[in-house]
Amino acid sequence: MPDYDPDRDLAIVSSMVPELERYLLSDELYWPIGGPSLPGGGEYPRLTFGGLFLALNRLGAVPANLSPEQSASLARFKELLETTRSKWVAVADRKLAREIKSRLDLWSAYLQECSENRASCADHYPQQIQYQVMLELLFSELSRISPASPYLNQLAMADRRLRAYFSKGEFVWDPALQASFPPDTFWFLYGSI
């Protein structure tokens, strides 16, 4: 992963959070958002809880890198996120569960590719691992609302599969992000396949 740019994640959060209620009330799992382009270039990702939680966690790793205005803006967006989620708890829970299934399917497909072409799989690991990160973040949010998820067995199976290929090593993303992704929970970010 290239050097981390908090401006990108701030732009993502500031585009996603105001759309959250419309997203929750829609049937869409991947809600289009955006503006002209992200800071540094590229298109805005579609709104999902996984993408939003990932951006928020990355921002949480670099609070000293944010200006007072950026910190205040981020705090407002976090408050709006929690207000919206608390207003639509059951709807948000269903959306979280749907996204978990979708992310598990994507992650499982990638791991299947790894069994067929490990070299290609290793080249794409730093980008593809975001699915596993999002799954961890989604499960942690879902567990606050639901007692258990039917997808825990599928995640455990994917973890076993990944461990068969995994070698411990350095943090795969920008080291500035390590504070938000401790190795006891996010072990898969500390190495490669």
Pair of tokens at residue 41: 């270039």
Amino acid letter, 27 = D
Q: What are the C-alpha distances in Å from 51 to residues 45, 123, 169? A: 8, 22, 25
pLDDT tens figures, 5-29: 899 999 999 999 999 999 999 999 9
- Please identify which residue in the block is written with the tokens 């990355």: 58
pLDDT tens figures, 98-139: 999 999 999 999 998 888 888 888 888 999 999 999 999 998
**How far apart are the C-alpha atoms of 111 and 136, rounded to whole Å?**
16
- The answer to whether residue 72 scores a pLDDT higher than 80 is yes
What pLDDT sits at residue 149? 58
Compute, in degrees rounded to 10, the torsion defined by CA atoms 6, 59, 182, 98.
-110
Adjacent-strand bridge partners of 192: 167
Q: Where are the alpha helices (DSSP H) in 117-170?
A: 118-142, 152-165
Predicted model pTM: 0.91
What pLDDT sits at residue 2? 56
107 CB neighbour count, 10 Å cutoff:
23
Mean pLDDT of 67-82: 96
What pLDDT sits at residue 69? 94
Sign of the CA dihedral running 87, 89, 90, 93: positive
Select the more confidently predicted residue: 94 or 153: 94
Select the more confidently predicted residue: 117 or 73: 73
**How far apart are the C-alpha atoms of 84 and 65, rounded to whole Å?**
27
**How far apart are the C-alpha atoms of 118 and 111, rounded to whole Å?**
9
Mean pLDDT of 28-44: 86
What pLDDT sits at residue 139? 87
* Percent above pLDDT 90 for the chain: 66
Q: Which of 60-69, 95-104, 137-146, 174-183 has the lowest mean pLDDT?
A: 137-146
What pLDDT sits at residue 151? 80
Is the distance from CB of 40 to CB of 162 less than 8 angstroms? no
- The answer to whether residue 39 scores a pLDDT higher than 90 is no
